[in-house]
Structure 1
Amino acid sequence: MPTVSIVSPDAVLAADAVIVATVSTPEGIALVKGAEPVDKALGGRLLEALQALDASGREDEVLKIATLGQASFGLVVASGTGKGDPSRVESEQIRRAVGAALRGLNSARRVAVAISAGPSEAATIEAVSDGALLGAYRFTRFKSAATPAALRRVDVVGSTGADSRKALQRSKIISAAVNNTRDLVNTPANHLNPPSFAQYAKDNGEAAGLTVEVLDERGLRRGKFGGILAVGAGSATPPRLVRLSYSPARATTHVALVGKGITFDTGGLDLKTAMMAQMKSDMGGAAAVIEAIIAAAKLKLPIAITATVPMAENAVSGTAYRPSDILTMRDGRTVEVDNTDAEGRLILADAILRACEDSPDYLIETSTLTGGQLVALGLNTTGAMGSDAFRDRVVAAGNAAGESLWPMPLPAYLRAGLDSPVADITNLPKERWASMLVAGVFLQDFVSSGVEWVHLDIAGPSFANAPSGYTPKGGTGAIVRTLVAALSDLAG
């Protein structure tokens, strides 16, 4: 990753390329505030040059203009922010514009960003830094002859005051958490399995000052985690349960985080018929939770957090669990397995039960749980279900952080479809309707009374088939920023 620094507006822009932003207005394309020094260096003709290229200022429009020796930088990169006011654009528009520009720069070693039109100066600097660090992301771990990234430094033009420095530091911590989540999601299952994933969580959690507990298969049996054990029974790599705790002095609120960690999902004996290659991403919720609690510790948030992360591989073998099996969960309740591809809710139920034993004030669970999320909300919007007021609070925090979330209901009538004639509950109803909501209703059954909670289904947002803005193809790092924003809100 490049280093990101703040430089004074009076400094000479000594860079290979300078990024400016454009906006679409009723009168046509306009330069976003902050581009004035760049325009001046080009004799006031930057807008004219962009108009000659039929620039519109729409989102993800990136145009490059060579300065031909007229300036201290060799290239101007104009990145669109969409419709708006050139004197004030939203932080998410800035992130997307800077990220899109950097995705298209392959040879520049040093880049400056001349944008100053965000909600505040500190917010602008944070958004520019986010866009740079997230947009510059590349996953090259398994390329034998990967070309090293040329980009070494990004200069953000703006105030170097205390608020700006604090915003920049926050951006670096959260962006690193997002990019680490992307790395984990992009790593295939022959390199990331429950034991190695648990070791990653232990090593990185302890390095951040967290207390870490890892339960292996023997510990899971002693703890009566029947759901986790059943789902992991068919794999050559046994399941794990990881617990990470952050306990700062004088914390008055305790939040439980839970994330689904299926390192690969074949569907089990109910074998998947589509999208199986993408199932290395089925641990995106677990990765986001691990990185969010580490980021919270680095940010020194004054809030107690415990992350409970179940990890398993849903594989096919002679020891795999079967449709019609009856599982005994940690609290003694029984679950009839209707479908082995509804495995995520089984490991999450055990984890939620364990998390609620700590009597948290709030519980946030996130998972790549259902195809129904994609049907209902598409590839980019997370479905949020749970306690109405707390759900809406988390949705507001996530949307303000630049991620798209939408509140969904948990209708009580759906619970009847989960009744089983032979067990306390079944993991999947016979009817296929409202599958995203039904999964939430199943999880709700395992949340202790009195705990405010929310379930975040990130099945679509966690993995992208095409790049856009600051989001690459592959693992997106979805929901990390929402989790940190919600924790910051609860701490504040």
Structure 2
Amino acid sequence: MSVPKLSLSENSEEALAKTRAEVVVVGTVQGADGVELAAGAEAVDSAFDGTLTEVLATLGATGKSEEIVKVPTLGRVAAGLVLAVGLGKAEDVTPERVRRAAGASGRALTGRKRVLTTLSELDLQAAVEGTVLGAYTFTAYKSEPGDTPPAHVEVAAPSEGTTRAHRATLKAATAIAEAVTIARDLVNTPPNDLFPASFAERAKELANEGGLEFEVLDEKALKRKGFGGILGVGGGSSRPPRLLRVAYRGAKAKKKVALVGKGITFDTGGISLKPPAGMDKMTSDMAGAAAVLASVVLAAKLKYPLEVVAHIPLAENMPSGTAYRPGDVLTMYGGKTVEVLNTDAEGRLILADAITRACEEGPDYLIETSTLTGAQVVALGERTAGVMGSDEFRDRVAEISQATGENGWPMPLPEELRSGLDSKIADIANVTGQRWGGMLAAGVFLREFVADDVPWAHIDIAGPAYLDGSPWGYTPKGGTGVPVRTIAAVLADIAANG
């Protein structure tokens, strides 16, 4: 994990004349008559004798969203370069637009040592998150790492508010960005190095650093305690499964929140083998586990007045002579039996065990996230997560997710889909025989293992967890860290409102 050092600085002509930053970032917007400067750029414009807008227009700037235009300062300020980033139409500027613009600037700033951003005048938290996440790079496996994030980011203090409030926001935004980076690093680590035991070791390191409770159940303990779903899925691999419990108990904790994340460290589909094309992306099938681990670490760092417990099932789904088969019946933790009709519907099996265990501890809320179904991508695309669960809590989580820019969308759990999961020989089957509604059917399956009195939400991130195309905004190619920011915001909301 490589996160820049962040600090607050003044936003004035005098401060600009003394800054050690190599680049100063300003925002632009699309005005009625062309490009205009966004709030925060006043001191830089003054150093250009009020001509910066004219210079930008001459260089072809329009202010459209995420547009990057570079202007040499020629000694007008201490920094050698002004980087202007577009926010779109002035009336459409939102925190998410600021975050994406900051991300675009962060992607353009890799390789720089020190930068100063004025986007913080528009929204301090969004500017910090976007800059750090946009500048993220994963170079652990490069023989020549190349460009790295800026070592130091100066954040211009907004004109409104107090220094104390600004510092608190800076601290929180930095911690959130760091948590997203933890999740991204885990997702981007190749499966030959990230498997159940090594994930558990990394989780233990993070738990120890954050003063968290940590417990790991190995394959012997899983068998002794009856975790048939995790053992069934992980039985085909030479690298046996694990179940982690990572817990934080805040001072004067008001509520207890259980987090559950799918941790398939690699998914071949098992005996129901996936097509070879695109299988390499299955290194990201543990993105849910990465997200909940990062989230409980974040809860401790920000000292939420909550008890947050992450339950993380880990397995590698491989075909072999010891692999589970279509037609097998697994006895899950808690005693419910599941007929396996497709071994590529493995995530719900390990999640069922973990959800049952989480509910035993009597949480006030349960949030589970997973790269669960290809049907999520068919229904909602690659940027929109599907949120299912208890109606009221589902809607609360989805609304908060949209406010963070992670864009979770509420989806139903239709009762008529349950009959499709009926089994002739077990309590329930792991898939339906129908082509349609696969994302919702998976949610219906998971609901069978949630205690009746626990409000819960299931976030299917099959598309949003991993970007295979070109970077955009603050989202790099590879692991995205979704839905860490959603979970963080939900935890903060529960801490504030119960």
Same fold (TM over 0.5): yes
Superposition deviation, residue 43 in structure 1: 2.1
SS of the equivalent of 1:55 reads coil
1:484 match: 488
Superposition deviation, residue 19 in structure 1: 0.6
Superposition deviation, residue 303 in structure 1: 0.7
Q: Is 1:151 aligned to 2:150, yes or no? A: yes
Give the TM-score normalised by structure 1.
Answer: 0.96
Q: Is 1:74 aligned to 2:80, yes or no? A: yes
What amino acid does structure 2 have at the position aligned with 1:489?
D
Superposition deviation, residue 147 in structure 1: 3.2
1:30 match: 36
1:206 match: 208
CA contact (8 A) 2:286 2:371 kept: yes
1:445 and 1:26 mapped to 2: Cα distance?
A: 55
1:420-439 equivalent positions in 2, closer than 5 A: 420-439=423-442
1:472 match: 476
CA contact (8 A) 1:363 1:451 kept: yes
Identity, in percent, stands at 54
What amino acid does structure 1 have at the position aligned with 2:482?
A
What amino acid does structure 1 have at the position aligned with 2:485?
R
1:277-292 equivalent positions in 2, closer than 5 A: 277-292=280-295
Per-residue CA shift, 1:25-66, capped at 9, x if unaligned? 344322111111111111222111222233222222111111
1:121 match: none
CA contact (8 A) 2:120 2:155 kept: no
The total of aligned residue pairs comes to 485
CA contact (8 A) 1:326 1:337 kept: yes
2:11 match: 9
2:112 and 2:403 mapped to 1: Cα distance?
A: 32
1:305 and 1:69 mapped to 2: Cα distance?
A: 52
4+ runs deviating over 3 angstroms: none
Q: Is 1:135 aligned to 2:134, yes or no? A: yes
SS of the equivalent of 1:404 reads coil
CA contact (8 A) 2:4 2:149 kept: no
1:354-369 equivalent positions in 2, closer than 5 A: 354-369=357-372
2:248 and 2:370 mapped to 1: Cα distance?
A: 21
Per-residue CA shift, 1:444-474, capped at 9, x if unaligned? 0110111100000001111012211111110
What amino acid does structure 1 have at the position aligned with 2:54?
E
CA contact (8 A) 2:291 2:484 kept: yes
SS of the equivalent of 2:142 reads coil
What amino acid does structure 2 have at the position aligned with 1:126?
Q
SS of the equivalent of 1:200 reads helix
SS of the equivalent of 1:95 reads helix
Give the TM-score normalised by structure 2.
Answer: 0.95
The alignment's C-alpha RMSD in Å is 1.4
2:30 and 2:223 mapped to 1: Cα distance?
A: 60
* Unpaired segments ≥5 residues, structure 1: 119-123
CA contact (8 A) 1:214 1:243 kept: yes
Superposition deviation, residue 12 in structure 1: 2.0
2:88 and 2:373 mapped to 1: Cα distance?
A: 32
1:113 match: 117
Superposition deviation, residue 116 in structure 1: 4.9
SS of the equivalent of 2:166 reads helix
Q: Which moved more, 1:168-177 or 1:249-258?
A: 249-258
Superposition deviation, residue 351 in structure 1: 0.5
SS of the equivalent of 2:408 reads strand
Per-residue CA shift, 1:87-144, capped at 9, x if unaligned? x9322211111110121124432111123553xxxxx222221122111111010112
CA contact (8 A) 1:419 1:426 kept: yes
> Which of 176, 188, 196 lines up with 1:186 in the alignment?
188
Q: Is 1:325 aligned to 2:328, yes or no? A: yes
2:414 and 2:33 mapped to 1: Cα distance?
A: 47
Cα gap change, 1:71 to 1:8, in 2 (>3 Å):
closer
1:218 match: 220
1:106 and 1:148 mapped to 2: Cα distance?
A: 5
1:348 and 1:2 mapped to 2: Cα distance?
A: 35
1:132 and 1:106 mapped to 2: Cα distance?
A: 10
> Which of 352, 367, 374 lines up with 2:355 in the alignment?
352
1:357 and 1:276 mapped to 2: Cα distance?
A: 35
Q: Is 1:386 aligned to 2:389, yes or no? A: yes
1:469 and 1:232 mapped to 2: Cα distance?
A: 37
CA contact (8 A) 2:133 2:475 kept: yes
What amino acid does structure 2 have at the position aligned with 1:127?
A
SS of the equivalent of 1:381 reads coil
SS of the equivalent of 1:188 reads coil
CA contact (8 A) 2:132 2:177 kept: yes
Cα gap change, 1:482 to 1:151, in 2 (>3 Å):
same
1:290 and 1:490 mapped to 2: Cα distance?
A: 18
CA contact (8 A) 1:345 1:369 kept: yes
CA contact (8 A) 2:372 2:460 kept: yes
SS of the equivalent of 2:416 reads helix
2:62 match: 56
2:53 and 2:78 mapped to 1: Cα distance?
A: 19
Superposition deviation, residue 371 in structure 1: 0.6
CA contact (8 A) 1:189 1:280 kept: yes
2:203 and 2:485 mapped to 1: Cα distance?
A: 19
1:150 and 1:132 mapped to 2: Cα distance?
A: 10
What amino acid does structure 1 have at the position aligned with 2:289?
A
Cα gap change, 1:169 to 1:256, in 2 (>3 Å):
same
What amino acid does structure 1 have at the position aligned with 2:45?
D
CA contact (8 A) 1:12 1:72 kept: no
Cα gap change, 1:223 to 1:25, in 2 (>3 Å):
farther
CA contact (8 A) 2:106 2:133 kept: no
Cα gap change, 1:210 to 1:234, in 2 (>3 Å):
same
2:259 match: 257
What amino acid does structure 1 have at the position aligned with 2:56?
L
CA contact (8 A) 2:106 2:132 kept: no
Cα gap change, 1:25 to 1:408, in 2 (>3 Å):
farther
Cα gap change, 1:286 to 1:107, in 2 (>3 Å):
closer
CA contact (8 A) 1:33 1:116 kept: no
1:359 and 1:152 mapped to 2: Cα distance?
A: 44
